[in-house]
Structure 1
Amino acid sequence: MNDELTQALYDGFPDLYAGRAKSAANSSMCWGIQCGDGWFALLRELSKQLTTYAHAHADFRLEAVEVKGKAGDLRFELALSTYWTEACIEAARRRAHETCELTGKPGTLCRPARIPHHAWEYRVLCDEKARELSYRKVTQDLRP
């Protein structure tokens, strides 16, 4: 994610993203938010939901330890979680499966057109970006 959008999330949700100041041994947030700009809106919405939950549960310490896209999947890990926070994260993951990582437009899981390719190269892309990057839609759902 570009620096401006990343900073907007950090500024809007400083407690959630406090791990960005920690070492790599303590939090992967030191690497920043590692996904495309297209997922900004869904990350902002998820951050709002999680922060609202944390404010309603004063004893709950909310902190993201990793936020990234990998193989077309959103990975959002909290230091501590509850059933409710996990349900929110799962809902965001499902939205990410249908949202272009680069543009935020509707998208589908795609793979590089060239063969061979690696699983980590899979991405969720809109039709326009898939054509531009020489990716093809995956015809079989590979997600659990």
Structure 2
Amino acid sequence: MRASGLDLSGDWTGVYDYGLDGDGAVPFAATLFDVGGVIWGTTLEPNTFAPEAGAELEAEISGSRSAREVHFRKAYIGRPRHGEEPVHYTGHVSPDGNRIEGNWTIRGPGFFASGPFVMNRIKGTAARASLGARTGETVEVF
């Protein structure tokens, strides 16, 4: 797949790590829309840091893609305690467009954290998501 024809729209699964040799790995699911390199979507992950916010945390993603490089910001919905600051992701897309690997960083008053992340596209979701983004409808692809 050429980078110019790349479209990251679809459903993804992934994991981000707190950089503690896999001890702090957190799985997540994401739905991305990519229109001309503008990226937005949502994530859902188990709550690992704000017990008062429930079992799962949802976040909104916004960012951009230029060729095979992606940059996006994840902001937790409701800004739970210890999740007030946005998380910044920078990654590289695989040649087939189905994997993104990179690093995340978060800066807040008096702290900094970072670690790796990886995302894999769920097979068969690219067409459904990109058609839905253009038409505003959910389109199932079998």
Q: What's the TM-score, normalizing by structure 1?
A: 0.29
Higher relative contact order (Cα pairs below 8 Å, separated by 6+ residues): 2
Q: Which structure features the higher share of helix residues? A: 1
